[in-house]
Chain A
Amino acid sequence: MRLEWMNLKNTLKRDMIRSKTALAVCSGILAVLLPLVLGINYYLMTVLIIMLVFIIYSSAWNFLALSGQGSLGHAAFFGLGGYASAILARSLELPPLATILLGGIFAACIGVLIGLTCVRLREWFLAMVTFGFAVITHTITAELSWLTGGWDGIPAKKLVPVTIPNYIVYEYYILLFIAGAVILTLYLITRSRVGLALEAIRENELEAKVMGINVTRYKLTAFAVSAFLTGIAGALEIHHFGYITPEVYGIDISFWPIIYCISGGLFTLEGPILGTVIITILSEGLKSFGWTYERLILIGVILILVVIFLPKGFVSIPNKLKSRLKSHA
């Protein structure tokens, strides 16, 4: 009897993993085919490109949250990656695809520095320090006008030269490839010892320490990886737009990934992706109706409702429905 039960459980589990893989493959294929289906529409392609940038960015933020560190100032890394990449591409005459990596590395270095302070802090002290850090980088960038162009910003090389016909499609595929690689990497990391250690630290830092996990090192690693990916996302965005100004450090740039992660599902791989896609579609859709503030009000309300009634985000909806059906049957 018990054995049968175990078998059943295993089959169920295998089915679930299988269906998840199938879903991942399907959405990947859909993403590849999307430009063919939609045709080459610059507005839609731009929305999709920004969506991919924010999928990378939210996944990076989520990775830091996985270690129990909720940052309120990730725009700092987003902007630092962008500025570093833009400046390097201009002064060293390097192609953007190379400087994006350098921008990420620069953001990671700064991330480790700020992380050294943050690893010892409690949740909301950390939130404050990261928020403050974003304000400070904002001011520093605006003041260093000989390097950064001050408030006016500087131009950045386009990811794909505009002279190439249908350059935006190439940009889309480059971003899709990078986003896929990032998600795969994060998947492998979270399944490895590092991911387990980070989760243990989040659940109970003291117990994790007792178990022999080097808390400081793992938290710093999370900071470095998260800042690196955020820097890459920032660099990708500014090379898409072709310019960068200090507005890239804005408070809302720090808050968007948090909104995406919470609404999608915190601490999961698919949560940030789902959250970014749903909220972006909602936001862009309402924008096309001419709703400017209304859509942000709605997003605020959704965020509040999700935190209170659906703490595991949109990804938990299927399971919730299933268990409700089961309890009725």
Chain B
Amino acid sequence: MDVSFLIAILVWGLYAGCIYILLAIGLNLIFGVMKVVNFAHGELLMLGAYTTFWLYILSGFNPYLVLPLAMLLMAMLGLFIERLGFRPIMGTGKLNEIFLSLGLIYLFQNLAAFLWSTSSRSIRSPYSERIVPLGSIKLPMDYLIIIIITTLFLVALQLFLKKTTVGRAMRATSQNREAAALMGINVERMDMLSFALGSVLATAAGSLWVISGQMADPYMGSIPAIKAFAVIIIGGLGSIPGAILAGLTLGIAENMVPSLMKFLAGIIGFNMSFTAWKDTIAFFILIIILVIRPTGIFGEKGE
């Protein structure tokens, strides 16, 4: 294993990590404010990717430019899901939230399959041929754009949460719902806002993923979403810096571990491929962490 190969894996991980971070932060916002787990978050990613795909096909614009419009559309869907789905069952038990998400998963996956068939779609990025030389490694331009866009989103979100009145109200709601309501904050509006924001971030994650060369199909959402759950459990419920750290770690670990295993197996004299294990790494990390600390690394802070 030489150094440039390691750096290439690191960049791959950074790029995959960005997608997980965008998803995980949306989940974290929703969980922080509503104490609800949206297992159907991956379906928002899928619908977001399809929205961008269709806007791109129909308009012919640069896919990065239609992204904001897709995010706006998906924010509205997020509002609807909160208002019609999750609000009626708030406070009726955590199992019900899981079950409602299951219903949403079935609804959205099959609606997408029904409307747009199960064949995979892709968006051809205008920069797909460009490569940025970064020292000894060659970085695809799209990866660089995605890393920059993600950073911008994170900074904007942080500013929104820390500096604006609405953002402060959201943080207050997630710290103590009753007290926030007593202080005159419309907590139900905060619920809707958190869902809309989560939906927007999931759309960004899905669209950027598809623009950078991944295929979009109706079932694309489940695995990334479930990894995003692993990320927020690893990084701590409701903690945004934790989610960023854990998302990057997972992205890098996923790309690093199979190569490392292959390398180690090679030393013993086996020639094996471990790429099939890539998707399971998140769950191994998750199970190990929960065996050691059943409440996650940062404890029950969000509960």
Residue pair B290, A304 in contact (C-beta under 8 Å): no
B89 within 8 A of A: yes
Shortest CB–CB separation between residue B20 and chain A, in angstroms? 14
Residue pair B283, A135 in contact (C-beta under 8 Å): yes
Residue pair A308, B100 in contact (C-beta under 8 Å): yes
Residue pair A296, B100 in contact (C-beta under 8 Å): no
| A48-70 interface bits toward B, Cβ cutoff 8 Å, 1 = contact, 0 = none | 00000000000000000100101
Partner-contacting stretch, out of B6-14, B108-116, B185-193: B108-116
Residue pair B286, A132 in contact (C-beta under 8 Å): yes
Q: Which of A70, A128, A259 sits near B230, CB closer than 8 Å?
A: A128
Given A135-B280, A136-B280; A258-B102 close (CB under 8 Å): yes
Q: Which of A65, A128, A255, A308 sits near B286, CB closer than 8 Å?
A: A128
Complex Cα spacing A302 to B107, Å: 10
Residue pair A139, B277 in contact (C-beta under 8 Å): yes
Residue pair A308, B230 in contact (C-beta under 8 Å): no
Shortest CB–CB separation between residue A319 and chain B, in angstroms? 18
| B82-109 interface bits toward A, Cβ cutoff 8 Å, 1 = contact, 0 = none | 0001001100101111111011111111
Residue pair B287, A117 in contact (C-beta under 8 Å): yes
B282 within 8 A of A: yes
Residue pair B110, A297 in contact (C-beta under 8 Å): yes
| A122-162 interface bits toward B, Cβ cutoff 8 Å, 1 = contact, 0 = none | 11110111011101100100110000000000000000000
Total residues of chain B contacting the partner, CB 8 A? 46
B58 within 8 A of A: no
Residue pair A308, B88 in contact (C-beta under 8 Å): yes
Total residues of chain A contacting the partner, CB 8 A? 41
Complex Cα spacing A303 to B96, Å: 11
Residue pair B106, A125 in contact (C-beta under 8 Å): no
B17 within 8 A of A: no
Residue pair B95, A142 in contact (C-beta under 8 Å): no
Shortest CB–CB separation between residue B143 and chain A, in angstroms? 26
Shortest CB–CB separation between residue A162 and chain B, in angstroms? 33
Given A128-B286, A307-B89; A262-B99 close (CB under 8 Å): yes
Complex Cα spacing A121 to B293, Å: 9
Residue pair A129, B290 in contact (C-beta under 8 Å): yes
Residue pair A296, B282 in contact (C-beta under 8 Å): no
Residue pair A65, B95 in contact (C-beta under 8 Å): yes
A178 within 8 A of B: no
Residue pair B114, A294 in contact (C-beta under 8 Å): yes
Complex Cα spacing A125 to B89, Å: 20
A95 within 8 A of B: no
Complex Cα spacing A161 to B235, Å: 54
By a CB distance below 8 angstroms, the chain A residues around B88 are 308
Q: Which residue of B lies closest to A309 (CB)?
A: B88
Complex Cα spacing A277 to B222, Å: 28
Chain A residues 71 to 99 lying within 8 A of chain B, measured CB to CB, are 72
Complex Cα spacing A132 to B103, Å: 20
By a CB distance below 8 angstroms, the chain A residues around B96 are 307, 311
Residue pair A293, B294 in contact (C-beta under 8 Å): no
Complex Cα spacing A302 to B89, Å: 15
| B268-303 interface bits toward A, Cβ cutoff 8 Å, 1 = contact, 0 = none | 000000001101101110110011001110000001
A299 within 8 A of B: yes
Given A132-B286, A135-B283; A297-B111 close (CB under 8 Å): yes
By a CB distance below 8 angstroms, the chain B residues around A125 are 233, 290, 294-296
Complex Cα spacing A300 to B102, Å: 8
Residue pair B279, A135 in contact (C-beta under 8 Å): yes
Shortest CB–CB separation between residue A18 and chain B, in angstroms? 32
Residue pair A301, B98 in contact (C-beta under 8 Å): no
Chain A residues 258 to 298 lying within 8 A of chain B, measured CB to CB, are 258-259, 262, 266, 293-294, 296-297
Complex Cα spacing A121 to B175, Å: 22
Residue pair A258, B110 in contact (C-beta under 8 Å): no
By a CB distance below 8 angstroms, the chain B residues around A194 are none
B50 within 8 A of A: no
Complex Cα spacing A258 to B96, Å: 11
Complex Cα spacing A258 to B229, Å: 20
Shortest CB–CB separation between residue A7 and chain B, in angstroms? 36
Given A303-B99, A304-B100, A308-B100; A124-B283 close (CB under 8 Å): no
Residue pair B113, A258 in contact (C-beta under 8 Å): no
Q: Which of B107, B109, B229 sits near A301, CB closer than 8 Å?
A: B107
Complex Cα spacing A120 to B277, Å: 27
Shortest CB–CB separation between residue B198 and chain A, in angstroms? 16
Shortest CB–CB separation between residue A197 and chain B, in angstroms? 19
Shortest CB–CB separation between residue A152 and chain B, in angstroms? 15
29 A-B pairs with CB atoms under 8 Å apart are A70-B99, A72-B98, A117-B291, A121-B290, A124-B97, A124-B229, A125-B296, A128-B230, A129-B290, A131-B226, A132-B282, A135-B279, A139-B280, A255-B106, A293-B111, A293-B113, A293-B114, A294-B110, A297-B107, A297-B111, A297-B114, A299-B106, A301-B103, A301-B107, A304-B103, A307-B89, A307-B103, A308-B89, A311-B96
In the A-B complex, list the 3 residue pairs whose CB atoms are closest, starting with the nearest.
A132-B283, A300-B106, A300-B107
Given contacts A124-B98, A131-B283, A308-B89, 18 further A-B contacts (CB under 8 A): A120-B294, A122-B94, A122-B294, A123-B95, A125-B294, A128-B230, A131-B226, A139-B276, A139-B277, A142-B276, A294-B110, A296-B109, A296-B110, A297-B111, A300-B106, A308-B85, A308-B88, A311-B96
